Structure 1
């Protein structure tokens, strides 16, 4: 089951960030000046500042100790799997753009096969490290981020027979490639956690 996610059309692009740090005791040689856009209201000139949007979320209300433990397990698993799902959506869009430039079924099949080979080589090892729960969660998150479930993605890029085959394997292990993300019902807790992560609260 863990291996089947490797066949989805995505690969990772790592982007590095550089952060500049200043010493706590350092003092700038010149005072820092901020220039604000003025706005005139009723004859008064007032500074006008556009603030970033702030997301305010209500904390999850736990019904039991068991739900509390489930919530914390989900936090750990989502932090592991969400980056894969989001990069899947990003790279899926890039692959679709490239496929639009390729004419002919044979050439398109060759492109998909080459992409699949590269994906398998790059991601077989890290995806094998996912737990069973993380693998099932990844299937749902891929649907959330791409707008389509894993079964349809495999069917679109590899054909109906491979999709049917991998669905059969997934079902043996209690998973379902046709699982769809439902933020309002079954996946309400997952959605809450993702929004908290995106807001920097978790």
Structure 2
């Protein structure tokens, strides 16, 4: 009888140890490492919180104005990522061009970049509405601090810049349009800040 009791106790201990080990394996680390600072001998977690933008509430005169505002939010969410990609491509292209030895190599690279951009973005650009296209032109200026016309002129020359400007002019748009965050684009700037910050 004592022998069976010893075997039972032994099996119970083995099973208990096994379940404890399993419990520790399945236990997830609840929490994460953060930077700390030491203040008067105390270690304090240091977490940088993102900015929170607070604007005066909008008062819409009618339902049409409210719909236009929500349409602006939709258009910004659709075009802002494209303008960022364009800006990143501009920076990368410019930095790479600086490493090339002569003008011929630079022009060859620009033609490759232009072809690649057309292949990559033509389908996406065709899906943009006229309003989204005009907004994209302004957001490119916001992101790069240069109008679309200046960018095309710098990379592809004045002839192509003039050609693209004339083409945009046929549809009532302008590649020379600048982004005015304090003036006519004040509402757009508000939406952009809120979208960038994840508040919209």
Q: Does 1:137 align with 2:135?
A: yes
Q: Is the 8 A contact 1:140 1:179 kept in 2?
A: yes
Q: Which residue of 2 aligns with 1:116?
A: 114
- Which of the pair is proportionally richer in helix? 2
Give the Å deviation of 1:161: 1.0
Residues 53 and 194 in structure 2, CA contact (< 8 A), matched pair in contact too: no
Aligned CA distance change for structure 1 residues 62 and 100 (closer, same or farther; 3 Å): same
Name the counterpart of 1:14.
none
How far apart, CA to CA, are the structure 2 residues paired with 1:77 and 1:33?
Answer: 36
Higher alpha-carbon Rg? 2
Secondary structure at the residue paired with 1:176?
A: coil
Name 1:195's counterpart in structure 2: 193
Report the RMSD for the aligned CA atoms in angstroms: 2.1
TM-score, normalising length from structure 2? 0.78
1:50-129 matches, cutoff 5 A? 50-53=46-49, 54-65=51-62, 66-129=64-127
- For 1:58 and 1:143, the matched residues in 2 are separated by 24
CA distance in 2, matches of 1:160, 1:173: 20
Q: Is the 8 A contact 1:38 1:48 kept in 2?
A: yes
Moved runs in structure 1, 4+ residues, more than 2 A? 27-38, 45-51
Higher relative contact order (CA 8 A, sep 6+): 1
CA contact (8 A) 2:141 2:179 kept: yes
- Looking at structure 2, the residues matched to 162 and 182 of structure 1 have their Cα atoms a distance apart, in angstroms, of 26
Secondary structure of the residue aligned to 1:174 is coil
Q: How many residues align?
A: 172
1:158 and 1:91 map into 2 onto residues whose CA distance is: 14
**Matched residue of 2:193: which SS?**
helix
> Would the aligned equivalents of 1:57 and 1:196 in 2 still touch at CA under 8 Å?
no
